[in-house]
Structure 1
Amino acid sequence: MSKETLTPGKLAGLKSVSDERGVIAAAAMDQRGSLKKSLAKEKGVADLPDAALIEFKELVTEVLTKHASAILLDPEFGLPAAKRRNGKGLLLAYEKTGYDAALPGRLPDLLDVWSVRRLKEAGADCIKILLYYTPFEKSHINDHKHAWVERIGDECIAHDIPFFLETVGYDVHGEDEKGLGYAKRKPEIVTGSMEEFGKARYGVDVLKVEVPIQMEFVAGTKAFKGEQAYTRTQALEHFRIAASSTHKPFIYLSAGVSNPVFIETLELAVESGTTFNGVLCGRATWKDGIAIYAKQGAKAFEEWLNTTGVENINNVNNALKSAKSWHDKVNVPAEALA
């Protein structure tokens, strides 16, 4: 497969969210509904004002972007935080948070008063979309999702800005998504999603993907909890198969696991020899600070971020030393990367 040639805007956008090696070491802070619920729960209240969500994002951005190549924010609550990103790159989310659980298929929706044009005007270097996806879903539902991604891809092409597509798998077989049955199916879900959205018709520049295994089911890892879906050797092979399903740059998401589990996951990815190009890591860095902010306030949370939060992100950065440059996957003249 011949390498794609990046247009000037897409090249500039990707460079702005990467380190000098061409590795994406980005922090994610675009959580909205789930974060608000978590903060309210820890505070012991039914709801929180938007101001709390805005302040939380500002604090995370201010501290963690000193150690990241970029930050992912949402335009609903994250724009004040975007002003505190220490000159680092900015990805903005374009989708509404969550999905309508009353409807089948976890169908996606875009933010009402935003467009790629408007996100770019608000300072976005790259556009990010989250899509719940499984190749096992009914074909008419996936057809709806394919058309939706095509539209966004075309919008990003029109405005010459990179398109990051995040795919998150889910169950359609009546299995517990935290259970053994789903863990066994996950490699196919991740690989199938990467294969599908790596196709040129979608205009995706970077795939933001789950790792193709559930760590607590990998025998021989520190994260293993006793029920085996894969041996360590099989897990390494699942990483390789998923990685070989696309020629696109791809980065891993942390999927809400703890910092030690995410670090071990990245070590496994490195051991497997995959050509992953970085991470967009959110909760594995700052999740444990939610209770601090809710119970002790902004000052205590800021102190926590400057100690434990920084330690967490530095753990991730150390694990990224063996990540590969996306420069190798695209056709770019050397002088354009200088």
Structure 2
Amino acid sequence: MRSLTVLALFLALLFSACGPKEDPAWQAFLACTEGSCIEEALDVRDALLRDPAAMLVTMDGMAELGDDRAIGWLFILRDSVLGNPAYAPVAQRSAERDSLLRTLEPFLENGQTSGEMATALVTELRTLNFTEEEVGTGDAFLPIGGTYQLGDNVETTGSKQLAVQRTSFDTLHFSLELVNGPPAYNQGTMEGYATLTGSNTYQYRTTEFGDEGCTLEFLFSEGKATVRTLAGTPPTCGFGNGVVADGAYTVVNHQDPFLSGADSLALAQFQGEWVAEDDPLSGILLKDGIFSMRYEGQSLEEAPYVYHPRCPADCAPAGDFGCLALYGQDVVCYALVSSGPAQLELSMVGGRGNTLRYRRVQ
């Protein structure tokens, strides 16, 4: 009897030593009892992507015992990460979901218990639909920064030039250079910061040249900037006789007119198409003031972007480093870790700290 007890103990120890061991990420998730457990859930996701077979066996074994924490993990991942616009742009969340689906789908028909768990996870992941409305394309999110022109012949019709760029989600830095035509060639200049008042609409008011003041409105549409004087006269706006800023200006380019020469050169390096080093189907395109997340050659999400040599408060946190700020439904910022003619490294400001590495498409 005693020998049987010793044998049973030996076999138990042998099974314990040789049997499958739970991944540390899964152990940490099971131990998480306070807070949202999002970081722990993300670590489990990474472990699943690294070794799907082992993780599926572990999850299925718990399900067999009536423990539903595998599905609980997926609900956290679905609701707090993949389905949460505050976590990341829709293109990134969509790509992360697709990566999980590609990893799990080979296990659906393998006839093993892991196939049952894979089926349950895939079924839930497929319920996530990233709609066109969530992508945020259309008139609500226009690339408004750049230089706009109205008339270009001072000798005949005069010339009006408007330079603009966002400094934050609701603030626009602008500069006006106005020259009337003959015979007087009266001129006017103005520079300031206009405030967002409606969809693609900004207003600026100054009383620098009189108590009556001057109020200008800037309305942006596709390729156009319409300026209207809402209050004031040429003198109270600081302009010469008969000079007004009003008119429909046409975009010349979407380059930032307020960057220094060195920063302009830095920004020029970012322009073009890039492919992710760890996934050749994923990439980004920076062109004409638009940051486009792409997958398999198709645009998943587009948003106007601004290069800030010093990352602004919109990016939360601000910092003394260069970043790209995307102005869509939310402000999403990417710190510039490294850049060059052939490589680009970005890291989401306020994110997990991981670096996204891209190489230029030749």
TM-score (norm 1): 0.21
Structure having the higher strand fraction is 2
| Structure with bigger RCO (C-alpha 8 Å, 6+ apart) | 1
TM-score (norm 2): 0.20
Structure having the higher helix fraction is 1
